[in-house]
Structure 1
Amino acid sequence: MDVLELARWQFGITTVYHFLMVPLTIGLSVLVAGMQTAWVRTGEQRYYKMTKFWGKLLLVNFAMGVVTGIVQEFQFGMNWNAYSRFVGDVFGAPLAMEGLVAFFVESTFLGLWIFGWDRLPKKVHLACAWAFSLATIASAYFILAANSWMQHPVGVTFTDGKPTLNSIWAVLTNNTALAAIPHTIAGAFSVAAAFLVGIGAWHLWRKRKSDDEHRAVWRSSIRLGGWTGIVAFAVLAITGDFQGKLMFEQQPMKMASAEALCHTEQPASFSIIAVGDVASSNCEDVKTFNVPALLSFLAHSDFTTEVKGVEDLVTEYQARYGTNYPDDPQLGELAGQPVDYVPNLPVTYWGFRIMIGFGAISAGTGLLALWLTRKNRIPDTKWFPRLALLSIATPFIGNSAGWIFTEMGRQPFVVVPNPSGVDGVWMFTARAVSRLTAGEVWTSLIALTSLYAVLGVVEVFLMRKYVRGGIEGVIPPKQTDDSEGKDELAFAY
């Protein structure tokens, strides 16, 4: 593999790994703050126990997210310094806001929350939980604003061969960002919801034959996770529809690739599933099961609009951005070669469907959990806790598939041209990579992948330890009857 491919693999591996932690932190932080709010308002011990148990798991996940996230910004200088020089004037602002405002607020109030149980008044301590949880959302907002600029560059002029920021407000209110943010946050809640349902169901089943004093904790956790998962999926569907319409306008090739739509159609059918090689140059080799005219509706809210196919879009892209890469030695083997404007069709086609399918499975499990726990029922079937545990993985897979589709679907661009934006504000991925040798990138790829594997083992070990420990693992038995929850230092957060 050449330097470009190795650098893309490294960024993909580290980013997807880091993003496994991010949605759980975002979703769980808000839910834990809600649990603590219920405890402060009602004084019920089940909410206090829920806050302590799920809060412990939140802290473990947050710590791992911080460790794995540090590498992300370093990679801009390691493997992508040409890209960093090109977008540095734009990216500096939102990334600085994320670090100086959001992350520092997160860290400060998380520390106050951890060590303030027996030192701060209840309501002040609760405010720290909410400040931390809202700061995680703010952090995601600034990161998504930066990412959305790559998908749809706005708020810049083109000066001396690179974009220069002239409106941070335009970057922060980019319609691509405003669509991505609620979609991503809803995805985070779906992850946290499945986490609550799976672990809660396992604990209920584990002590089904004994008089478990914490049974109300697990049942309430399942109910909260079930409702959260259903609402999150509804928000995902609504915001996903809005995102799709924007993509048809801003990145028509990405959406044509998501459907493996070779030829322009009017009206265009939505492919549910395909049989055959969707990357085949001969579209007739692929058999698809379609819903007539649905793709036209998803693209433009009517059933008659034309949707351009991959082949026609390639012709348009070649006319606007060139048929060949520049004859530049920095491009290595790609110098002077034809530009392939078609993303990896199997990845985009199946990634899009995996994202939707696994999200629906997660919501379905939440709905099933609500049904089985209705009217104070306790599920007594062996298959439900197994299904709920397995379903924890489904929103993680759906979220990861969605991001892989989003990022690989914009290839061969690292900064996608804005059809109505400033000329010149776009960049081929091949031009963004650093001037390194393949051996250097192999070294960092192997080192980081190995390190992340070790961190993965640590994460699983700690999560398994505290999940299996249950309530007793975070609250000593002598404290479970203390309705005020004093002497919190004994809980050793």
Structure 2
Amino acid sequence: MSDVLLLSRFQFAITVFYHFLFVPLTIGLIVLIAWMETQHVRTKNPLYRQMADFWGKLFAINFVLGVVTGITMEFQFGTNWSEYSKYMGDIFGSPLAIEALVAFFLESTFMGIWLFGKDKISPKLRAFSIWMVALGTNISALWIITANGFMQNPVGYIERNGRIELQNFWEVVTNPYAWHMFVHTVVSCYIVGAFFVMAVSAWHLLRKQHVEFFEKSFKYALILGLIAATATPFIGHKSASFAAKMQPAKGAALEAVWETKESLPFHIIQIPDPENERNIVEFLTIPKLGSYFYTHSFDGKVVGFDQIPKDERPNVNIVFYSFRLMVALGLYFVALFWYGFYLYRKNKLVESRRFLKLVMYSVLLPYVAINAGWVVAEVGRQPWTVYGLMRTAEAVSPISLSQIVFSLVSLVLFYTILLIADVYLMLKYAKKGPYTSTATKGGEIQHVS
């Protein structure tokens, strides 16, 4: 692998990683804010307006900085991956153009109305505006994943004059691979949003600050997280089994399957040895369960690496351990949310300091899980950029090593500054807490924090 290719891949991975620190919170948090605005319209209780304003301020900080990282990421298709852009531009450009023209303008326009029209529009219009922002963020995710879904499972195209051209737009839009990815990703983002609200609320509840405000915020986040975390293992299973069917090499890497066999067992503890194409350790084995996970049949046939050429295999260790990490964290989230729900039903949530601290310390784990999932998706597709059509080595731009080193260093510095700014501002306003109406003077409400 050439240095330019290696650094280009590393740079894009860094870009995606930084960008995806902002995106999940944007998608997950906006749903809760929209529900709070809806509750304000329904009950006329000013507490819900205060909740929407407080969490909306944190959302706005994350949203603005996330947009900057997204724009920078798209530039790389022209700078670092020009051969890919030439080959795939006719298809890849369409979803991204729709995402920018429809989704981004939808969310940014209504975000402006919601933010700056706070005291000028009716509560119903403000609630409608924030729901439009929520719709826009989800539509944005859909079109970006549609583009990525084609890279994972090319459909609706013809190859002509050495490039891919769009033949059936409907097939691209309804690509089942993309829809599996979309549902799995969005539901995972809801877990991120839920954890964020719960962690900030837990910090204040431990200090007995604004108890009613943050207990109610915690409740809504807990319900969203409980639904999302409980659904995720089933959604993730369907996504993984479909991915294994469409990409046998990725499927083999998920559980380090070296030999094609029927009635494949499942090993709870397993250590792969890619150099010798075997597993060093296989412990706590459940007969036939592996076949069921892959094929939904206990006697199903699972393709192993013995039927896959060596130059078409991904890095087994990266895919295998990332997948296991994602699954382990997913099960942890299920247990944590259900235990939190139990405490809430018993009216013990506010007094359970250990649980509140556990939530705070776990706030970054959903980010780890969701990025591990993307590592599985992207590394598992290698060595292909467009599966079965274009290898990653063929997609890189013909640029010099010095150019890629300069852009990589500049990008890391720029993104690190943005991340520091984001964390600083989020912590500052999260710790500050909401503004609550506590006194009146001259008939006007005085707001103090």
Aligned counterparts of 1:290 and 1:256: Cα–Cα separation in 2:
17
Correspondence for 1:465 among 428, 432, 448: 428
State the 1:93 CA deviation: 1.1
Q: What's the counterpart of residue 290 of structure 1?
A: 285
* Superposed counterparts of 1:308-327, under 5 Å: 308-314=303-309
* 2:244 paired with 1:248: yes
State the 1:487 CA deviation: 8.2
SS state of the match for residue 52, structure 1?
A: helix
- Verify the 8 A CA contact 1:194 1:366 in the aligned structure 2: no
Q: What's the counterpart of residue 85 of structure 1?
A: 86
Q: What's the counterpart of residue 329 of structure 1?
A: none
SS state of the match for residue 119, structure 2?
A: coil
- Verify the 8 A CA contact 1:219 1:373 in the aligned structure 2: no
Q: What's the counterpart of residue 253 of structure 2?
A: 257
* Superposed counterparts of 1:393-432, under 5 Å: 393-417=364-388, 426-432=389-395
Kindly provide the CA deviation profile for residues 108-137 of structure 1, in whole angstroms up to 9, marking residues without a partner as x: 000000011111111111111111110100
SS state of the match for residue 241, structure 1?
A: helix
State the 1:368 CA deviation: 2.2
Q: What's the counterpart of residue 333 of structure 1?
A: none
**Taking every aligned residue pair, what percent have the same amino acid on both sides?**
38
Aligned counterparts of 1:382 and 1:246: Cα–Cα separation in 2:
42
Aligned counterparts of 1:224 and 1:186: Cα–Cα separation in 2:
16
Q: What's the counterpart of residue 3 of structure 1?
A: 4
Aligned counterparts of 1:36 and 1:478: Cα–Cα separation in 2:
23
Aligned counterparts of 1:366 and 1:216: Cα–Cα separation in 2:
20
Aligned counterparts of 1:313 and 1:28: Cα–Cα separation in 2:
42
SS state of the match for residue 20, structure 1?
A: coil
- Verify the 8 A CA contact 2:340 2:349 in the aligned structure 1: no
Aligned counterparts of 1:16 and 1:206: Cα–Cα separation in 2:
33
Q: What's the counterpart of residue 274 of structure 1?
A: 270
- Verify the 8 A CA contact 1:256 1:309 in the aligned structure 2: yes
State the 1:159 CA deviation: 0.8
Aligned counterparts of 2:281 and 2:404: Cα–Cα separation in 1:
37
Kindly provide the CA deviation profile for residues 219-245 of structure 1, in whole angstroms up to 9, marking residues without a partner as x: 112222222112112332222222123
SS state of the match for residue 273, structure 1?
A: strand
What one-letter code is carried by the residue in structure 2 that aligns with 1:299?
Y
- Verify the 8 A CA contact 1:343 1:412 in the aligned structure 2: yes
- Verify the 8 A CA contact 1:190 1:228 in the aligned structure 2: yes
Q: What's the counterpart of residue 126 of structure 1?
A: 127
Greater shift, 218-227 or 134-143, is seen at 218-227
Correspondence for 2:217 among 215, 221, 238: 221
Aligned counterparts of 1:100 and 1:477: Cα–Cα separation in 2:
44
- Verify the 8 A CA contact 1:30 1:134 in the aligned structure 2: no
* 2:158 paired with 1:157: yes
* 2:402 paired with 1:439: yes
SS state of the match for residue 194, structure 1?
A: helix
- The 1:375–1:286 alpha-carbon spacing in structure 2 relative to 1, beyond 3 Å, is closer
Larger relative contact order (Cα-Cα within 8 Å, sequence gap ≥ 6): 1
- The 1:284–1:42 alpha-carbon spacing in structure 2 relative to 1, beyond 3 Å, is closer
Correspondence for 1:364 among 335, 350, 361: 335
- The 1:350–1:204 alpha-carbon spacing in structure 2 relative to 1, beyond 3 Å, is same
* 2:211 paired with 1:232: no
SS state of the match for residue 21, structure 2?
A: helix
What one-letter code is carried by the residue in structure 1 that aligns with 2:102?
V
Kindly provide the CA deviation profile for residues 263-322 of structure 1, in whole angstroms up to 9, marking residues without a partner as x: 1121112232324x54332415343443321221122211001101112222xxxxxxxx
What one-letter code is carried by the residue in structure 2 that aligns with 1:223?
K
What one-letter code is carried by the residue in structure 2 that aligns with 1:466?
Y
* 2:52 paired with 1:57: no
State the 1:378 CA deviation: 4.2
State the 1:19 CA deviation: 0.8
Aligned counterparts of 1:90 and 1:263: Cα–Cα separation in 2:
36
Q: What's the counterpart of residue 198 of structure 1?
A: 199
- Verify the 8 A CA contact 2:247 2:381 in the aligned structure 1: yes
State the 1:52 CA deviation: 1.4
* 2:422 paired with 1:451: no
State the 1:375 CA deviation: 4.4
Greater shift, 193-202 or 138-147, is seen at 193-202
| TM-score using structure 2 length | 0.95
Q: What's the counterpart of residue 304 of structure 1?
A: 299
* Superposed counterparts of 1:134-153, under 5 Å: 134-153=135-154
- Verify the 8 A CA contact 1:362 1:394 in the aligned structure 2: no
- The 1:477–1:2 alpha-carbon spacing in structure 2 relative to 1, beyond 3 Å, is farther
Aligned length: 447
State the 1:476 CA deviation: 6.6
Q: Structure 2: state its 5+ residue gaps.
A: none
Aligned counterparts of 2:403 and 2:283: Cα–Cα separation in 1:
43
Q: What's the counterpart of residue 420 of structure 1?
A: none
Kindly provide the CA deviation profile for residues 396-447 of structure 1, in whole angstroms up to 9, marking residues without a partner as x: 1110000011000010000002xxxxxxxx1010000001111111111111
Kindly provide the CA deviation profile for residues 62-93 of structure 1, in whole angstroms up to 9, marking residues without a partner as x: 11110111111100001000001010010121
SS state of the match for residue 343, structure 1?
A: coil
Aligned counterparts of 1:129 and 1:3: Cα–Cα separation in 2:
44
- Verify the 8 A CA contact 1:361 1:391 in the aligned structure 2: no
State the 1:477 CA deviation: 4.9
Aligned counterparts of 1:279 and 1:487: Cα–Cα separation in 2:
68
- The 1:487–1:363 alpha-carbon spacing in structure 2 relative to 1, beyond 3 Å, is farther
CA RMSD of aligned residues (A): 2.1
SS state of the match for residue 287, structure 1?
A: strand
Q: What's the counterpart of residue 67 of structure 2?
A: 66
